[in-house]
Amino acid sequence: MFSPKSVSAALATHFGNALVSPAPSPLTDEERRMFSRLKILLTEKEQGLIESEEEDEEALVQESGDSDSDYDAEEDEKPEQRSRKPWTKELCDKMLEFYRSKDLEDGRRGASQSFKRMQNRFRAHMKTEYDLTLLRKYEKTGVIPSERYSAMRQLASDVRAKLGEKMKKGVPIHDTDIRKIALDLNKLNAASGNFKASATWVSKWKVHHRIVSRKVTKFVTRKATKDREKVLKQIDELRIKFLAVVRKNPGIVIINADQTGQVKEMHSTRTLAEEGSKDVVVEIESKSATTHSVTVLPTIYLDGRQHPIVYVHLGEPTGSLPAKKAVYGNKNLVIGASKSHIMNREAAARYFKEVLFVQPMPKHMLLLLDSWSLFLNHSFIQGLVPKGHKVTILNIPKGGTSLAQPLDLCYNQQWKCVMRRLNDAILVHDIDFVLHTRDNLLRCISQVYWAFGAPMFKEYRKYGWYRGGFLTTHPAPFVTPPKYMFGEGSEADCPCSEPGLIRCPYCKKAHCFSCFVINSHRCA
Q: In 238-376, which ranges are E strands?
A: 253-257, 260-263, 293-297, 299-301, 310-315, 333-338, 364-369
Mean pLDDT confidence for 240-257: 95
User: What does the alpha-carbon distance between residue 418 and residue 416 come to, in Å, rounded to a whole number?
Assistant: 5
pLDDT at 267 over 60: no
105-109, 145-149, 491-495, range with greatest mean pLDDT: 491-495
| Non-local CB neighbours of 382 within 8 Å, separated by 6+ positions | 391, 393
User: What does the alpha-carbon distance between residue 256 and residue 407 come to, in Å, rounded to a whole number?
Assistant: 7
Share the mean pLDDT of the chain. Answer: 82
Q: Does the pTM of the predicted model rise above 0.85? A: no
Extents of the domains making up the chain: 1-44, 87-140, 144-207, 227-266+284-485
Q: 99 pLDDT band (50/70/90 cuts)?
A: confident
**Residue 317: its pLDDT value, please?**
86
pLDDT at 35 over 90: no
Q: Which amino acid is present at 171?
A: V
Cβ contact 261:292 at 8 Å? no
Residues 222, 219, 59: CA angle, nearest 5 degrees: 115
DSSP, residue by residue, 429-492: TT-S--TTSHHHHHHHHHHHHHHHT-GGGHHHHHHHHHHTTS--SPPPP---HHHHHHSTTTTS
DSSP, residue by residue, 73-123: GGGGS-GGG-SSPPP-HHHHHHHHHHHT-EEPTTS-EEEPPPHHHHHHHST
User: What does the alpha-carbon distance between residue 150 and residue 152 come to, in Å, rounded to a whole number?
Assistant: 6
Mean pLDDT confidence for 463-477: 94
DSSP designation for 145: H
Topology adopted by domain 227-266+284-485? Nucleotidyltransferase; domain 5 (3.30.420)
**Residue 84: its pLDDT value, please?**
55
User: What does the alpha-carbon distance between residue 475 and residue 298 come to, in Å, rounded to a whole number?
Assistant: 20
pLDDT at 271 over 80: no
Q: How many CB atoms lie within 10 A of CB 334?
A: 20
User: What does the alpha-carbon distance between residue 21 and residue 26 come to, in Å, rounded to a whole number?
Assistant: 14
Q: Is 69 helix (H, G, I), strand (E, B) or coil?
A: coil
User: What does the alpha-carbon distance between residue 301 and residue 358 come to, in Å, rounded to a whole number?
Assistant: 15
Least confident residue range of 148-157, 298-307, 403-412: 148-157
